[in-house]
């Protein structure tokens, strides 16, 4: 099992199976779902048992191990061809989170060079991806905290913590490091409709760490920024285009606009595996449309009139010009643009 020094562990490999903390049940119940097949794993990713781009990538890597085990048992001579269908299934499960594609491609590169039973070699690679993600988060935490300056409050959106990564977190990694250094006095947390990841997950993580936390409705964020108490907005990302445009949880874009209007700095924290140089700008990023029921119902009860039509994008795109700092494990880009991102990706 990967050593995660945090209170929260979203992903683990135990007794030859993938176990995911079912984030749909938090904060009331902390229950792991045990997955033995790639079909089960892809369904868990699609249905938000695990979410957050880095965590999805780690889960996908372990899912490839499950697929390889089954395909090798099915046909030791042709398993490398048969597994292509499983890799495609994983990639299609959440189209916006580029870390998923990145992890599957990395595992596919290992598959191409294997002979004999693949399970242990692929498990080693998946564990490596997991460990690297935790180390990257720790590094980003240090780099982001160094930007905070004078002590004050910060605002975050959705969940970019240990639950969304291999461990420690991206945006919450910076917040954890900043709080430990005495640079953050309070964290304001958007509730994050419609799945309430901020209320259910981020607030839960911060309470576990005893970091002072205040929850607010998404629609209250601009009013909060106007009061002048918040010094930074700190968020994660699901995909970053070559020019620095950022796809993140729906609601991030209008938060960035409000931050710029009120003179509050805006920080995006994400590993370089989230950067997609094949996407020239944010307009090319595929935006996942989710089920209408997520808006029409809350807690299993209807909250809208029958027949109401729904537009339910899971993500939006924040233009690079609204980002003051992009923090990666390879370094920081202030006012990120295509030149800075290309330089970061060369390391």
Three-state SS at 22 = coil
- Cβ atoms of 1 and 14 closer than 8 Å: yes
Q: Nearest 5°: phi and psi at 35?
A: -115, 130
Q: Are strands 315-318 and 301-302 parallel, antiparallel or unpaired?
A: unpaired
Nearest CA to 164 among 65, 242, 58, 66? 58
Pairing of the two strands 297-298 and 301-302: antiparallel
Query: Which has the closest alpha carbon to 333: 245, 256, 250, 244?
Result: 244
In the set 22, 238, 245, 316, the catalytic residue is 238
> Does the annotation mark 238 as catalytic?
yes
Gyration radius from the chain CA atoms: 20
Q: Which residues pair with 216 in a beta bridge?
A: 190
Torsion of CA 27, 30, 31, 33, to 10 degrees: 70
Instruction: Enumerate residues 6+ apart whose C-beta is below 8 A from 285.
Output: 96, 239, 241, 245, 247, 276, 279, 315, 317
Q: Do strands 213-216 and 184-190 pair parallel, antiparallel, or not at all (unpaired)?
A: parallel
Which stretches within the chain are classed as H helix? 38-46, 53-74, 79-93, 98-112, 119-145, 171-180, 197, 203-208, 221-226, 252-261, 293-296, 338-346
What positions carry a catalytic annotation?
238
């Amino acid at each position: 099992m990967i050593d995660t020094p945090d209170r929260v562990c979203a992903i683990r490999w135990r007794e030859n199976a993938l176990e995911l903390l079912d984030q749909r049940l938090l904060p009331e119940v902390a229950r792991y779902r045990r997955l033995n097949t790639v079909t089960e794993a892809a369904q868990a990713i699609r249905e938000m048992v695990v979410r957050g781009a880095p965590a999805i990538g780690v889960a996908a890597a372990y899912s490839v191990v499950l697929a390889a085990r089954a395909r090798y048992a099915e046909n030791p001579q042709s398993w490398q061809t048969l597994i292509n269908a499983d890799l495609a299934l994983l990639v299609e499960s959440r189209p916006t989170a580029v870390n998923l594609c990145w992890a599957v491609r990395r595992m596919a590169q290992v598959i191409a060079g294997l002979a004999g039973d693949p399970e242990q070699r692929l498990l080693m690679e998946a564990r490596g991806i997991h460990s690297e993600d935790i180390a990257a988060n720790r590094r980003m935490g240090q780099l982001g905290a160094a930007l905070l300056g004078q002590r004050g409050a910060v605002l975050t959106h959705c969940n970019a913590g240990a639950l969304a990564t291999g461990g420690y977190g991206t945006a919450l990694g910076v917040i954890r490091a900043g709080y430990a250094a005495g640079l953050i006095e309070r964290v304001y947390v958007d509730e994050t409709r419609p799945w309430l990841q901020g209320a259910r997950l981020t607030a839960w993580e911060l309470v576990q760490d005893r970091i002072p936390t205040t929850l607010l409705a998404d629609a209250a964020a601009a009013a909060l920024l106007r009061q002048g108490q918040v010094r930074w907005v700190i968020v994660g990302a699901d995909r970053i285009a070559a020019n620095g445009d950022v796809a993140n949880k729906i609601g991030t874009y209008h938060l960035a606009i409000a931050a710029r209007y009120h003179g509050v700095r805006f920080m995006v924290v994400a590993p370089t595996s989230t950067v997609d140089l094949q996407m020239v700008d944010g307009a090319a990023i595929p935006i996942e449309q989710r089920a209408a029921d997520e808006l029409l119902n809350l807690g299993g009860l209807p909250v809208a009139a029958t027949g109401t039509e729904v537009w339910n994008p899971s993500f939006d795109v924040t233009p690079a010009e609204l980002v003051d700092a992009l923090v990666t494990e390879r370094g920081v880009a202030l006012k990120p643009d295509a030149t800075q991102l290309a330089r970061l990706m060369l390391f």
